């Protein structure tokens, strides 16, 4: 590469162009087995060289780095300068970590050759971080961040290069990364609904199911809600995620209408969103679009504040009833979902907090609380459900105390749609 220092550095793509190229490459991948690698090359001593020899010497050093990387890269690879002292090398069609390691080895060998300038000769002090797609990130930003964290860990460990590991992940960034991947999951149809059967404890017949979201992660397999819902709650995906669950639950109820006869489907939704001005109108449009009869959809209202005590909550439960949707107060008997929520509003059903149900046979105080909650709700004409029922003893006790509905591992686990239909058929 016989170019001047300025020309060499100026002709390299910048960070924006590198990100665009990486995202374009991801979009072209029809098969996730077609891995590729992103190498982040960080020059560690640029500041010292600028201070000791001047900025011209620093530019000369960067030019030497760019030339060395150009000699190593293949025709299909992309070399970019993404920061003042950082270069990125995109390696398409790298099918294994071993191939990425070979590329790093070639780079570091080039840097072992001393660079002469200002009557001095130095070896380039560079550290390389490696991120692999799709294992280490779903998009360009995530891959570059993975490679950057690898660089930082390599520096801390005194290593010259490092392949990204989950141990390198900053806990503060986990939620953000998960949210980015969830956005991709919504677009790529990686989410699906599982159905956990609910039983009428008075007749022991199926009464419906709770629709629970599962994520078929391309690398980590099937993920339960506990592993990704916290990221949803703290991101801009909250609305899109819950509306996805509602629409797909309504779609399932519509498509399974014959088998579903007499059963309801319940879906969780944050109360703060339910109380927003246009929510009930939007929900009415969805139930109408899917042609779901009144009483099929139950909205399980979750909250972390005191909004269930508000006048607006009373109005919304009435409006939901008018469009044929039942309101269920989740976590009844714990925190803000105390019995006082029944002073103003009349939800169709309350669901006792799982922690109370779990210990009801071992903890005398929990047992007294649960029995009192069931009796109070019954006297006010409100149905009572219990979730998280783990054993036959708890199930029998809840039935004896007058609990109307139950669900949990003792009855049946959450299952894919076809398995739920088979379970439903067997119970009838």
Nearest-5° Cα angle at 197, 191 to 201: 155
Name which of 52-66, 317-331, 390-404 the model is least confident about: 52-66
Domains and CATH numbers, the chain: 5-169 (3.30.70.270), 177-427 (3.20.20.450)
14-29 mean pLDDT: 89
Name which of 27-41, 192-206, 405-419 the model is least confident about: 27-41
E strand or H helix at 128: strand 126-133
pLDDT in tens, 230-286: 777 777 788 889 999 999 999 999 988 777 777 899 999 988 889 888 999 999 999
**With b meaning 16 or more CB within 10 Å and e meaning fewer, what string describes 276-312?**
eeebbeebbebbeebebeeebbbbbbbbeeebbeeee
Spatial distance between the Cα atoms of 313 and 338, rounded to a whole number of angstroms: 14
pLDDT category of residue 2 using cuts at 50, 70 and 90: very low
Under DSSP, the state recorded for 298 is: E
Q: Kindly tell me if the per-residue pLDDT of 172 is higher than 60.
A: no
Taking every pair of Cα atoms in the chain, the longest distance, rounded to a whole number of angstroms, is 93
pLDDT in tens, 337-395: 567 777 777 788 999 988 889 888 888 988 999 999 999 999 989 999 999 999 999 99
pLDDT category of residue 304 using cuts at 50, 70 and 90: low
pLDDT category of residue 130 using cuts at 50, 70 and 90: very high
pLDDT at position 118 is 60
Q: Kindly tell me if the per-residue pLDDT of 76 is higher than 60.
A: yes
pLDDT at position 3 is 44
* Sequential DSSP letters for 288-339: HHTTPPTTSEEEEEE-SSSGGGSHHHHHHHHHHHHTT-EEEEEEETBTTB-G
Between residues 343 and 196, the one the model is more confident about: 196
pLDDT category of residue 27 using cuts at 50, 70 and 90: confident
Q: Kindly tell me if the per-residue pLDDT of 298 is higher than 50.
A: yes
Q: Work out the percent of the chain whose per-residue pLDDT is above 70.
A: 89
Count the neighbouring beta carbons within 10 Å of the beta carbon of residue 157. Answer: 8
Locus of tokens 């979750």: 302
pLDDT at position 49 is 80
Contact (CB, 8 A) for 200 and 427 = no
């Amino acid at each position: 590469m016989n170019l001047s220092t300025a020309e060499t550095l100026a002709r390299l793509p910048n960070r924006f162009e590198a990100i665009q190229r990486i995202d374009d490459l991801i979009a072209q991948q029809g098969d996730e087995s077609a891995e590729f690698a992103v190498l982040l090359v960080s020059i560690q001593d640029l500041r010292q060289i600028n201070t000791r020899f001047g900025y011209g010497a620093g530019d000369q050093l960067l030019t030497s780095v760019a030339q060395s990387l150009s000699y190593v890269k293949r025709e299909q690879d992309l070399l970019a300068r993404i920061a003042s002292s950082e270069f990125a090398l995109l390696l398409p069609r790298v099918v294994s970590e071993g191939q990425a390691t070979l590329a790093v080895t070639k780079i570091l060998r080039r840097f072992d050759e001393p660079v002469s300038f200002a009557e001095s000769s130095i070896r380039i002090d560079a550290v390389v971080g490696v991120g692999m797609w799709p294992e280490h990130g779903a998009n360009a930003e995530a891959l570059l961040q993975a490679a950057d964290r690898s660089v930082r860990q390599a520096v801390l460990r005194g290593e010259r290069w490092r392949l990204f590991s989950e141990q390198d992940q900053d806990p503060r960034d986990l939620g953000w990364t998960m949210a980015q991947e969830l956005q991709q999951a919504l677009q790529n149809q990686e989410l699906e609904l599982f159905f956990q059967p609910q039983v009428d404890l008075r007749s022991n017949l199926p009464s419906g199911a709770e629709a629970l979201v599962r994520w078929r992660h391309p690398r980590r397999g099937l993920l339960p809600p506990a592993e990704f819902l916290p990221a949803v709650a703290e991101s801009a995906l909250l609305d899109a995620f819950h509306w996805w669950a509602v629409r797909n639950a309504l779609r399932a109820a519509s498509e399974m209408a014959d088998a579903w006869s007499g059963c309801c489907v319940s879906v969780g939704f944050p109360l703060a969103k339910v109380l927003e001005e246009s929510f009930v109108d939007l929900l009415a449009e969805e139930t109408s679009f899917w042609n779901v009869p009144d009483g099929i959809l139950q909205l399980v209202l979750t909250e972390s504040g005191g909004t269930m005590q508000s006048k607006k909550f009373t109005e919304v439960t009435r409006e939901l009833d008018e469009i044929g949707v039942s309101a269920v107060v989740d976590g009844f008997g714990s925190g803000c979902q105390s019995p006082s929520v029944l002073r103003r509003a009349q939800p169709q059903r309350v669901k006792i907090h799982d922690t109370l149900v779990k210990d009801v046979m071992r903890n005398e105080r929990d047992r007294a609380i649960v029995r009192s909650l069931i009796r109070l709700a019954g006297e006010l004409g409100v149905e009572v459900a219990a979730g998280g029922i783990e054993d036959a003893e708890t199930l029998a006790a809840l039935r004896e105390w007058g609990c109307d509905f139950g669900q949990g591992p003792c009855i049946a686990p959450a299952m894919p749609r076809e398995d739920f239909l088979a379970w439903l058929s067997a119970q009838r």
